[in-house]
Amino acid sequence: MAKSRLASRQRRPGARALLLCQPFRPERGFGIFRPSQRSLMDKSALITGGCGFIGSSLAVALARAGWQVTCLDNLSRRGSELILERLREHGCGFVHADIRCPEDLAKVAQRGGVLIECSAEPSVLAGSRGELARGMLANNLVGALNCFELARERGMAVVFFSSSRVYPYDRINALRFEEVATRFELAEASAGVSRQGIDTGFSLEGRRSLYGATKLAGELVLQEYSAQFEVPAVINRCGVVAGPWQLGKVDQGVFTFWLAAHHFQRPLRYLGFGGTGKQVRDLLHVGDLAELVLRQLEHLGELRGEVFNAGGSTVANLSLQETTALCREITGSKVLVEPCLESRPADVVWYLTDNRKAQERFGWTPRRDARAILADTYAWLREHERELARVLGFDS
């Protein structure tokens, strides 16, 4: 009953926004369940967006490492309610709340420990249509500020998930690339960029999309909170993160989407950059990201808003053409992939993450290569085929 009421709210965006900004009442929705007490009391984490891909994966990793974890989510991402059962199985608590509403956040019981901010509209396209911009700003900017404020009031440290989208797209596309058989490759190193990828010293001058702007603004505010109010904080600028439990769409979670399209036999398109599918992204397994966060948590007391890049780098990266070939191999299925010259706003031709700063500071480097990441994601997709066909929109 509670589920269908929520689902019907989600079909009426205007009405939903109003309802979500009213104080949350447990009897009205999915409610609150408390974390199991088996975890250590001094290691407590509140994960906002904890029913999303990264949030829930971190919740499970932290719970396994003996943390007491509470996930907070408004369940706005299609399918995020599927993740509730997984959280419960791992002894994580849950609070149904909205980060845009300080009244909702006030219901969180936690004091001390860490707040891991993973609740956002994570698609770069979300803010590219004028009518959606305000909603994205409310989530990613106002929502993040509310989380930082909660952390300040309650004496919590903060881990913030930013994005490689803070790096200006015009600057990246203006680098010199060489077109080889299946991909574009960087032809020349310059300030902040080498064959290892883009590092945190890359210039931030230029346009980055509204989504990228919300992330950079969040970083700057968190650094001020850290400096002025002594909130321990760390910022991770992630490239594409991939792996099981990502409910991928074409504009976000491209590797799950590509695998799912092969599995469910749907045609695909190579968008932009000549329609050849030679644009390149690195991909980081969410388990490797969790490993980085666990290492950062050991040093949080010392961190004051430092920024790290986190991505698959030279260990795991693919062009779309190469992704198609790998998907064919892994799924055993072949689909039509058509060229399309139309390009997407703020898209980049190439992005690899230079992780060396995180490597030096935390001794961390990604372990899984592209084949391992796609194979792992596909095993999960097969296991949850029926629910995923509906959630990913492949059931019609």
Ligand X SMILES: NC(=O)c1ccc[n+]([C@@H]2O[C@H](COP(=O)([O-])OP(=O)(O)OC[C@H]3O[C@@H](n4cnc5c(N)ncnc54)[C@H](O)[C@@H]3O)[C@@H](O)[C@H]2O)c1
Interacting residues toward ligand X by CB under 6 A: 49, 51-55, 73-77, 80, 98-100, 118-120, 122, 139, 143, 161, 163, 238, 240-241
- DSSP character string of 154-203: HT-EEEEEEEGGGS-HHHHHTS-EEE-SSSEEE---BTTEETTEE-TTS-
Q: Which is nearer to ligand X, 179 or 347 (CB)?
A: 347
CB of 30 to ligand X, least distance (A): 11
CB of 324 to ligand X, least distance (A): 20
CA gap 169, 345 in Å, rounded: 10
CB of 106 to ligand X, least distance (A): 14
CB of 39 to ligand X, least distance (A): 22
**CB atoms inside a 10 Å sphere around CB 17:** 15
The alpha carbon of residue 352 and the mean position of all alpha carbons in its chain are separated, in whole angstroms, by: 16
CB of 178 to ligand X, least distance (A): 26
- 114-117 and 44-48 strand pairing: parallel
Q: Which is nearer to ligand X, 120 or 210 (CB)?
A: 120
Q: Which is nearer to ligand X, 73 or 219 (CB)?
A: 73
8-11, long-range: CB < 8 A, 24+ apart: 10/76
DSSP helix/strand/coil, 215: helix
Q: Which is nearer to ligand X, 175 or 310 (CB)?
A: 310
CB of 334 to ligand X, least distance (A): 26
CB of 41 to ligand X, least distance (A): 25
CB of 209 to ligand X, least distance (A): 12
Residue 184 pairs with which residues in a beta bridge? 179
Entry field: residues in the chain: 396
Q: Which is nearer to ligand X, 252 or 267 (CB)?
A: 252
Closest CA to 122 of 105, 101, 136, 143: 136
CA gap 289, 244 in Å, rounded: 13
Per-residue H/E/C for 245-305: CCCCECCECHHHHHHHHHHCCCCEEEECHHHCCCCEEEEEEHHHHHHHHHHHHHCHHHCEE
CB of 75 to ligand X, least distance (A): 5
- DSSP character string of 366-395: ----HHHHHHHHHHHHHHTHHHHHHHTT--
Whole-angstrom CA distances from 374 to 65, 164, 246, 275, 290 are 25, 21, 12, 23, 17
Q: Which is nearer to ligand X, 163 or 355 (CB)?
A: 163
